[in-house]
A and B are shown apart, each in its own frame.
Chain A
Amino acid sequence: MSGYRLERGGLIKRERRLGFTFDGKPYHGCEGDTLASALIANGVKLVARSFKYHRPRGILTASSAEPNALVELREGGRKEANTRMTMVELYDGLVARSQNRWPSLYFDIGALNQLAAPIFVAGFYYKTFMWPPAFWEKFYEPIIRKAAGLGRATHEPDPDRYEKAYAHCDVLVIGGGPTGLMAALTAGRSGARVVLADEGPMFGGSLLSEIEEIDATNGLEWAQEVLGELASLPEVTLKPRTTIFGWYDDNVFGAIERVADHKIAPQPYEPRQRYWRIHAKRAILATGAEERPLVFGGNDKPGVMLASAVRSYVNRYAVAPGRTGVVFTNNDSGYRTARDLRAKGVRVAAVFDSRKNAAVPDAGGVEVMMGALITGVDGGLGVKSVSFDRGRGEEHIDCDFVAMSGGFNPNVQLACQRGAKPLWNEALQAFVPPDNGSALVAAGAAKGSMLVSECLREGAQKGAQAANDTGFHCKAAALPLTRDDSYSITPLWWVKESTSKAFVDFQNDVTAKDIPLTAREGYRHIELTKRYTTLGMATDGGRTSNINGVGILAEATGRTIAEVGTTTYRPYYTPVSFGAFAGPFKGLHFQPVRKTPLHEWAQEQGAVFVETGLWMRSSWFPRPGEMDWLETVIREVKATRGGAGLCDVSTLGKIDVQGPDAAEFLNRVYCNGWNTLEIGKARYGLMLREDGIVFDDGTTSRLSEHHFFMTTTTANAARVMSHLEFCHQVLWPELDVQYVSVTEQWAQMAIAGPNARACLQKICTDIVLNDQSFPYLAAKELTILGNVPARLFRISFSGEHAYELSVPADYGNMAARALMHAGAEFGITPYGVEALSVMRIEKGHVAGGELNGTTTAVDLGLGRMMSTKKDYIGRMMAQREGLIRPDREVVVGVRPVSKSDRLLAGAHIVARGDKPSMETDQGYVSSVAFSPMLDMWVGLALCKRGRERHGEVVQLFDGLRDIHIEVELCDPVHFDKENKRLYA
């Protein structure tokens, strides 16, 4: 317990006290605090346990790069695991819990792992849990997963809403620090449409945390003035709490706006988060730089913090991390921390500067030891003292916190997400962004410019350039005057004299020693080092660890850092919640529901619906007392074949084709011919793909000389339409033809059975239906019920005397009701797609199971349809050797030898006496149905040389479902082979 609230200063509102709990214990903070600063103010140092060793961990940063201080935030359906407390704005009633500890944060059994640390080296999972292999899944993995881990996800549904939104701008400025403010101001003044986004709740960036002087005032006041002006510019949009997480093709940026994360719950009208896709003509990367930790013994103990984070806490949040600090640095910036702490009245025992020869900056009166290294940190749950070495042997100094600075990494992530690698800058000892052209340019600290004057100058320059590039004109304006600090650095990647574990990756518990070990074991490539050690693979994306890892690997392998390079940068800059990705597209909003024009009628008839793609199709219509679907389907089939049935077939694709070349167009897309089709007639058509395989089938009718009405299968409706468009626009643009999908415009119903004509006649008042006026395959436009326009086709899928009737969609329910009413005396019965399927299998009609993308017209028994008189899609390739082989699998009927045996689709056909294997496989059953007419299961199969084998008894084998029966191969037409019923 050592941190405390300073008496004065900071950007917090002391009068606004907020209550919160951490691990069930109540605390108070102020408005403007983060959860991290509020806990420090309350003297809490230990906030987490580490991933692998369960070591006590404290707060390392004051930024979104935080690797340690992760909590489960909120409760119930709103619980969010692995939330960085440095980014959690405090609100009244906040509830947070620590993670990865049992039974408590202060006494954690898992910490025993540390005693076994020698075996927990890099790659230990691979080395230790190798044998026996079967143990991995059942034993090792569950135990490891339980012991090593982060927070637990909630199992309750998220009660909040998430939105998706698009934005377009001339200039996107990423980051609202001095560079970003200056860039936005310069571009904004020209009238350009500017979006300025910052991940924090307040704009100002480093100016919120650092003591700066700009234009004779302090940096904070300067930022306020700029913000005031930006707010007054109508084309400038300020987006606080908005993280730009990814850079994509065409200069599109992904962003998450945390609309209500800073509240206990969103207002009823608010989403929790908004997922933005921002199209920017130009973008400026002003993301600043992240400080690197130093790698020394005990650098992960609670109380060891980044030096810049210490400045944030004292200056912005008015909290001191402890009573007495020490600073450990390899660059000038650490001195700032000493000065700022002194200015706030916090004692600093010493500045340890690892550099032997450097101009010593002003340390604010604190004792400076040059060439001094911290080699160890003492204290269990928090820093008590440090041991250091300045060339006089081990010495100790008491302190309760350590501020460390290993230099700065420009936040290059976004600039490297599209493939370009960052460039090593020797003077800065850091990677800087690559040149990506003018679409995304870096400025300020993100580019490696460490002085405020440079940031402001570059911000103005790049802002003006971006605005000018997009057609605006920026007037030259004087730059604000600043007082610059100095910045120089001498690298120190690892204090090898360390007396205890020195951590590189705090979140994944990767120590400095793991890296040379990994290199010795052969994983010298940085991408391999990363995966073998898990360096940089945690939820923090390695923002505090990657470059230190690169530096240590370079030293260990005798290469330069530029030679080692970095791992690949990918989205996301910080973690994004799944809810934001899903947005509103969940539950019934995940995809649209397509209801047919007969949906209401089907509902009235008690239909059970089945999803077919987006469609809801009526699958059967149970009647009271029926025990299962099969009983219902049997009744529907018998009623249809015995009297009349009515089925909704509106989901079939319907395409209206018109024009002088319409017939020729059909000639080329279907394998059969269309020139001879008379007006008023329908014909079955078969389409092939260009590779000779069957694509789709359906009936197409000629309504007039230049007008055809095409139908497609339900599944291929959209594909056929695109295919027709491709064929016409790309292959034959000279054809004078037009076509449009009218699937949604027409309700279509099949009326089948011996009484079908009698039912229809009652509503078709302007035609006398008989075999002369309306023979098989007749197609006619007419009116029904006096004045409803309709199209009637005498076509049959069921094998019965049957019709299909189309009416404009809005008349669908009415027409179906009228038909039911008219057909009542003939016993008309609604039937669904199941009965439809049963009847087509009884008749041996091929459908989806057979038109499966591997079969040819010949395979399906439709070879005679292929015209030899014309060119059509697929004609040539259908003649390939492999597609005309005599031993191809072709459609054949199957029926069980023992009448009571059940058939199942997918079962394989094996000759009698053969043992089932890949080699003896003869084909498989593609469709099955229980035939009410034959009182047994029947099926269609694709079987080698099937047509020559009618009458042969074969084995049906299905190892998965343990089926082994005998079936007879037969004619695919199981019922009414003479087609008597069709013409009846």
Chain B
Amino acid sequence: MRIKCPHCGERPSEEFSYLGDAGPKRPSSNDPASMDDWFDYVYLRENPKGVMQEYWHHSGGCRGWLVAERNTETHEFISTVSAREFALRRSS
């Protein structure tokens, strides 16, 4: 199985490691009132049947983190983007 690394192109899946759901965004506040947000960020994950966005790490390659859209039902990769680009896009 191959995954398209945004930097290296299609590479065997063995070069990548999986982290998980890319949905949760790290809260920016250290206010104790934001504790619930932190709890959600650290612990709560969706487990959808179908397409989800996930963090993958090209750990055996360019060392870049990427966000992949993957169908958890068919294991099909739909798209990949560098995590950096994803983060910048999400915060802008």
The answer on A and B forming one complex is: yes
Residue positions of A touching B, CB distance < 8 A? 248-250, 252, 279, 690-691, 721-722, 725-726, 729-731, 733-734, 871, 875-877, 879-880
Q: Is the CB of B2 within 8 A of A729?
A: no
**Lowest 7 CB-CB distances: which A-B pairs, in order?**
A250-B1, A249-B75, A876-B38, A733-B84, A729-B65, A729-B84, A730-B83
User: Roughly how many angstroms separate A14 CA and B57 CA in the complex, as a whole number?
Assistant: 60
Residue positions of B touching A, CB distance < 8 A? 1-2, 13, 17, 19, 26-27, 30, 32, 34-35, 38-39, 41-43, 55, 57, 59, 63-65, 74-76, 82-84, 86-88
Q: Is the CB of A730 within 8 A of B35?
A: no
Q: Which of A249, A726, A871, A876 contacts B65 (CB 8 A)?
A: A726
Q: At the interface, is chain B mostly helix, strand, loop or mixed? A: mixed
Q: Is the CB of A248 within 8 A of B34?
A: no
| 8 pairs from A and B in contact (CB 8 Å cutoff) | A250-B76, A252-B1, A690-B42, A726-B83, A733-B84, A877-B39, A877-B42, A879-B32
Q: Which residue of A lies closest to B19 (CB)?
A: A726
A contact residues around B83 at 8 Å (CB): 726, 729-730
User: Roughly how many angstroms separate A729 CA and B88 CA in the complex, as a whole number?
Assistant: 9
Known: A726-B65, A730-B65. A279 touches B2 (CB 8 A): yes
Q: Which residue of B lies closest to A718 (CB)?
A: B59
B contact residues around A729 at 8 Å (CB): 64-65, 82-84, 87
A contact residues around B34 at 8 Å (CB): 876
Q: Which residue of A lies closest to B59 (CB)?
A: A722
Known: A731-B26, A733-B88. A725 touches B2 (CB 8 A): no
Q: Which of B2, B42, B55, B65 contacts A250 (CB 8 A)?
A: B2
B contact residues around A279 at 8 Å (CB): 2
Q: Is the CB of B1 within 8 A of A726?
A: no
User: Roughly how many angstroms separate A279 CA and B1 CA in the complex, as a whole number?
Assistant: 8
A contact residues around B87 at 8 Å (CB): 729-731, 733
User: Roughly how many angstroms separate A798 CA and B52 CA in the complex, as a whole number?
Assistant: 49
Q: Is the CB of B30 within 8 A of A871?
A: yes
Q: Which residue of B lies closest to A731 (CB)?
A: B26
Q: Which residue of B lies closest to A871 (CB)?
A: B30
Q: Is the CB of A249 within 8 A of B1?
A: yes
B contact residues around A871 at 8 Å (CB): 30
Q: Which of A252, A725, A877 contacts B63 (CB 8 A)?
A: A725
With A249-B74, A249-B75 already in contact, 7 other A-B pairs whose C-beta atoms are closer than 8 Å: A279-B2, A725-B64, A730-B55, A730-B86, A730-B87, A876-B38, A877-B39
A contact residues around B59 at 8 Å (CB): 722
**Least distance between A972 CB and chain B CB atoms (Å):** 30
Q: Which residue of B lies closest to A726 (CB)?
A: B65
Q: Is the CB of B1 within 8 A of A730?
A: no
Q: Is the CB of B57 within 8 A of A877?
A: no
User: Roughly how many angstroms separate A249 CA and B12 CA in the complex, as a whole number?
Assistant: 12
User: Roughly how many angstroms separate A877 CA and B84 CA in the complex, as a whole number?
Assistant: 25
User: Roughly how many angstroms separate A836 CA and B83 CA in the complex, as a whole number?
Assistant: 41
Q: Which residue of B lies closest to A166 (CB)?
A: B12
User: Roughly how many angstroms separate A279 CA and B42 CA in the complex, as a whole number?
Assistant: 38
**Least distance between B81 CB and chain A CB atoms (Å):** 12
User: Roughly how many angstroms separate A10 CA and B84 CA in the complex, as a whole number?
Assistant: 67
Q: Which residue of B lies closest to A689 (CB)?
A: B42
**Least distance between A806 CB and chain B CB atoms (Å):** 23
A contact residues around B57 at 8 Å (CB): 722, 725-726
User: Roughly how many angstroms separate A250 CA and B19 CA in the complex, as a whole number?
Assistant: 20
**Least distance between A435 CB and chain B CB atoms (Å):** 14
Q: Is the CB of B19 within 8 A of A876?
A: no
User: Roughly how many angstroms separate A112 CA and B27 CA in the complex, as a whole number?
Assistant: 74
A contact residues around B39 at 8 Å (CB): 877
Q: Which residue of A lies closest to B57 (CB)?
A: A722
**Least distance between B22 CB and chain A CB atoms (Å):** 8
Q: Which residue of A lies closest to B75 (CB)?
A: A249
Known: A729-B82, A731-B26. A691 touches B42 (CB 8 A): yes
User: Roughly how many angstroms separate A549 CA and B39 CA in the complex, as a whole number?
Assistant: 53
User: Roughly how many angstroms separate A924 CA and B30 CA in the complex, as a whole number?
Assistant: 34
A contact residues around B75 at 8 Å (CB): 249-250
**Least distance between A712 CB and chain B CB atoms (Å):** 16
User: Roughly how many angstroms separate A252 CA and B42 CA in the complex, as a whole number?
Assistant: 35
B contact residues around A876 at 8 Å (CB): 27, 30, 34-35, 38
Q: Is the CB of A725 within 8 A of B84?
A: no
**Least distance between A555 CB and chain B CB atoms (Å):** 35
User: Roughly how many angstroms separate A821 CA and B57 CA in the complex, as a whole number?
Assistant: 46
User: Roughly how many angstroms separate A341 CA and B90 CA in the complex, as a whole number?
Assistant: 75
User: Roughly how many angstroms separate A730 CA and B39 CA in the complex, as a whole number?
Assistant: 19
Q: Is the CB of A877 within 8 A of B1?
A: no
A contact residues around B74 at 8 Å (CB): 249
Q: Which residue of A lies closest to B63 (CB)?
A: A725
**Least distance between A756 CB and chain B CB atoms (Å):** 37
B contact residues around A879 at 8 Å (CB): 32, 35
B contact residues around A880 at 8 Å (CB): 35
**Least distance between B56 CB and chain A CB atoms (Å):** 11
User: Roughly how many angstroms separate A252 CA and B3 CA in the complex, as a whole number?
Assistant: 13
Q: Which residue of A lies closest to B26 (CB)?
A: A731
User: Roughly how many angstroms separate A877 CA and B32 CA in the complex, as a whole number?
Assistant: 10
**Least distance between A252 CB and chain B CB atoms (Å):** 6
User: Roughly how many angstroms separate A875 CA and B42 CA in the complex, as a whole number?
Assistant: 12
Q: Which residue of B lies closest to A692 (CB)?
A: B42
Q: Which residue of B lies closest to A870 (CB)?
A: B30
User: Roughly how many angstroms separate A691 CA and B39 CA in the complex, as a whole number?
Assistant: 9
**Least distance between B79 CB and chain A CB atoms (Å):** 15
Q: Is the CB of B84 within 8 A of A730?
A: yes
Q: Is the CB of A248 within 8 A of B84?
A: no
Q: Is the CB of B42 within 8 A of A725?
A: no
Known: A726-B57, A730-B84, A733-B88. A877 touches B38 (CB 8 A): yes
**Least distance between A410 CB and chain B CB atoms (Å):** 24
**Least distance between A884 CB and chain B CB atoms (Å):** 12
User: Roughly how many angstroms separate A250 CA and B86 CA in the complex, as a whole number?
Assistant: 25
User: Roughly how many angstroms separate A721 CA and B19 CA in the complex, as a whole number?
Assistant: 14
Among A248, A690, A729, A731: residue with most chain B CB under 10 A: A729
Q: Is the CB of A248 within 8 A of B1?
A: yes
User: Roughly how many angstroms separate A249 CA and B17 CA in the complex, as a whole number?
Assistant: 17
Q: Which residue of A lies closest to B27 (CB)?
A: A876
A contact residues around B35 at 8 Å (CB): 876, 879-880
Q: Which residue of A lies closest to B35 (CB)?
A: A876
Q: Which residue of A lies closest to B66 (CB)?
A: A729
Among A250, A731, A871, A877: residue with most chain B CB under 10 A: A250
**Least distance between A256 CB and chain B CB atoms (Å):** 19
User: Roughly how many angstroms separate A729 CA and B85 CA in the complex, as a whole number?
Assistant: 9
A contact residues around B43 at 8 Å (CB): 691
A contact residues around B55 at 8 Å (CB): 726, 730
Among B34, B55, B87: residue with most chain A CB under 10 A: B87
**Least distance between B5 CB and chain A CB atoms (Å):** 13
A contact residues around B32 at 8 Å (CB): 879
User: Roughly how many angstroms separate A871 CA and B88 CA in the complex, as a whole number?
Assistant: 20
